[in-house]
């Protein structure tokens, strides 16, 4: 029987490097998906490596209180924000990065949406990029990775009620951003009335490598 994530993570935390290698290999696709809509394609590999390095350094503290996926996505979010801070200094000479204010549309104005096969998918991606980075990450955890309020509460160390309120506001903001895009009103309506369905299609496209 193939060991589950938590069994491998506990073995890794106890010093089993082979378990750690197997666990990281299992989740490489998840990390590529996490970074796919937030940075340039040629930066993803290095960021995935940074996440792996962060896990190697921090795995001894893993207690199994949350799923390994939740733990891994928290590390990925931290590495992403570190990357944005470095980029703001290097590209725009700014000292700092505010996840509650900055947007991917501002940080990477030319980021491609070519992996989106349909117009609704493209509008969803563009709408997400116009949210604050913090809201985009939260909604992608929810729609792409299937994390629900209890898991998100563990990831953010916030009460479930707070998470539910943040999700509601983020979805409302996403609908506003999509409706502001120049597109056929029928396509816009199709997008905002089935966010979960179109998000599932976007995830499938990313996982397919297109």
Give all domains of the chain, ordered by start, each with its CATH number.
1-97 (1.10.1740.10), 113-210 (1.10.10.10)
Alpha carbon distances (Å) from 164 to 19, 59, 142, 149: 35, 29, 11, 6
Q: State the maximum Cα–Cα separation within the chain, in Å, rounded to a whole number.
A: 56
At residue 92, the pLDDT reads 67
Give pLDDT tens digits along the chain (210 positions). 788 998 998 888 888 989 988 988 999 999 999 999 999 999 999 999 999 998 888 887 777 677 889 989 999 999 999 999 988 877 666 677 889 999 999 999 888 877 777 899 999 999 999 999 999 999 999 999 999 999 999 999 999 999 999 999 999 999 999 999 999 999 999 999 999 999 999 999 888 754
Assessment of whether the complete model's pTM goes beyond 0.85: yes
Q: Tell me the C-alpha distance between 115 and 128, whole Å.
A: 15
At residue 210, the pLDDT reads 44
Q: Given phi > 0 = left and psi -120 to 50 = alpha, else beta, which region is 52?
A: alpha
118-164, pLDDT tens digit by residue?
A: 899 999 999 999 999 999 999 999 999 999 999 999 999 999 999 99
Q: Are the CB atoms for 181 and 123 separated by under 8 Å?
A: yes
């Amino acid at each position: 029987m193939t060991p589950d994530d938590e069994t491998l993570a506990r073995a890794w935390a106890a010093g089993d490097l082979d378990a750690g290698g197997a666990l990281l290999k299992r989740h490489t696709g998840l990390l590529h998906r996490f970074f796919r809509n937030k940075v340039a394609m040629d930066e993803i590999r290095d960021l995935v490596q940074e996440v792996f390095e962060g896990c190697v350094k921090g795995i001894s503290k893993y207690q199994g209180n949350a799923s390994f996926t939740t733990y891994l996505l928290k590390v990925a979010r931290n590495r992403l924000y570190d990357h944005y801070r470095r980029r703001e200094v290097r590209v725009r000479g700014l000292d700092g990065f505010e996840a509650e204010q900055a947007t991917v549309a501002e940080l990477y104005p030319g980021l491609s949406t070519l992996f989106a096969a349909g117009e609704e998918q493209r509008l969803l991606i563009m709408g997400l990029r116009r949210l604050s980075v913090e809201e985009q990450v939260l909604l992608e955890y929810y729609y792409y990775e299937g994390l629900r309020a209890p898991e998100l509460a563990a990831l953010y160390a916030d009460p479930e009620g707070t998470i539910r309120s943040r999700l509601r506001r983020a979805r409302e903001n996403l609908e506003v951003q999509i409706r502001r895009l120049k597109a056929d009103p029928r396509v816009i309506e199709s997008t905002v009335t089935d966010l979960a369905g179109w998000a599932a299609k976007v995830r499938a496209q990313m996982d397919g490598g297109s």
